[in-house]
Amino acid sequence: MWVPRTEAESESEAERSSGTGTKTDAVAVASSTIVPMATPLDDHIQDYLAHLVVERNLSPRTLESYGRDLRQFSSFTAEGKLDLASIERSDLRDYLGSRRDAGLSPRSSARALSAIRGFFRFLVGTEVLAADPTANIRSPSLWQTVPHTLNSSEIEVLLAAPDTSTTLGLRNRAMFETLYATGLRVSELVGLTIDRVRLDPGYVRIVGKGRKERLVPLGLAAIDWIERYSDGGRALLDRDRRPELFLNHRGGAMTRQGFWKILGQHARQAGIKTKLSPHVIRHSFATHLVENGADLRAVQMMLGHSSLTTTEIYTHVARERLRKLYDEKHPRA
């Protein structure tokens, strides 16, 4: 007989399937990203991944993505019998074209090009190569379609979905409010520690990608719910004096997978039909700011984007929404 699982059971399953990354983990990932069948680039790729561990302190997950992209590129060069010194810009275009023909998204191709760019810059910097063939190659368009977002009404329904008369519901409401108020990545949200939250001035200090720090404002609603959770629910969960603000039902650190499950459960309760992820809330945060006149560079800083180009997608989202609203409401549209 099927028995529905409780939220606590869902969290437990998510935690068993996840792990936290350390520098030791990153070294292990860097050492295991190359497949046994060697290609001419393999030794250089291993050197580059080891360099990333030491110099850029990347997470194991990011290293794994870089290794996978470089491994695929290495296989492409081996099939074409290209040696390192003979790789040209046209070869890179052919590779990106083959990815497109295989049905991979522009975003995946752009990420692969980013990994390859870093690799060749490393080779030039270490004097393995004299010239960088990735110079002046434009990235594939990151967004052929605008990112999915929730409208303000859907956000309000989602925020109100947790039962705040319970400890876990109080925690969930505080997490949802914090996520929408700040646009944090899910890893930043679950890794948020108490010492990085300042409720009086109203901001959180985030250590994001590449260990870059940024300050993100907290709205009054988020501050209110964090205070309620801190004064009430958190003390009942914190058995081991954990540094993280948001704890799971056993008093441990919340995981990314655990939060995904919680968000999905409450989205279904709220009647939200579309597939929902923490990143959709991040997109919604940015889109609503731009729609209401926020400066794009301020949004860039809050999101932690290294390039303004990445943030500019939200101007397209806002324009598309305005067009849709016009078409729906104007009598002569």
Task: Give the pairing type, strands 197-198 and 213-217.
Answer: unpaired
Catalytic annotation present for 185 = yes
Q: Which two tokens stand for residue 108?
A: 């995946």
Q: Which two tokens stand for residue 74?
A: 């290495």
CATH of domain 152-329: 1.10.443.10
Print burial letters for 38-75: b (CB count within 10 Å at least 16), e (below 16). Answer: ebebbebbbbbbebbbeeeebbbebbbbbbebbbbbbe
Residue range 189-196: average pLDDT?
Answer: 96
**Predicted confidence (pLDDT) per residue in 34-59, tens digit:** 333 445 688 899 999 998 888 877 77
Q: Which of 48, 66, 180, 314 is catalytic?
A: 314
Catalytic annotation present for 332 = no
| Contact status, residue 142 vs residue 106, Cβ threshold 8 Å | yes
Q: Which of 44, 185, 261, 288 is catalytic?
A: 185
- pTM for the predicted model, two decimal places: 0.61
Q: Which of 279, 297, 323, 324 is catalytic?
A: 279
Compute how many other C-beta atoms are within 10 angstroms of the C-beta atom of residue 89. Answer: 13
* Residue 198 φ/ψ, nearest 5 degrees: -120, 100
Residue range 232-244: average pLDDT?
Answer: 91
Q: Which of 249, 261, 282, 283 is catalytic?
A: 282
In angstroms, the CA 107 to CA 244 distance is 32
| Contact status, residue 75 vs residue 39, Cβ threshold 8 Å | yes
What does the domain layout of the chain look like in residue ranges? 19-125, 152-329
Is domain 19-125 in CATH 3.10.450, yes or no? Answer: no
Catalytic annotation present for 314 = yes
- pLDDT beyond 80 at 303: yes
Catalytic annotation present for 305 = yes
**Predicted confidence (pLDDT) per residue in 258-281, tens digit:** 999 999 999 999 999 888 999 999
Q: Which two tokens stand for residue 57?
A: 């302190």
- pLDDT beyond 60 at 142: no
Q: Which of 61, 209, 228, 321 is catalytic?
A: 209
Under the banding of pLDDT at 50, 70 and 90, the label for residue 224 is: very high
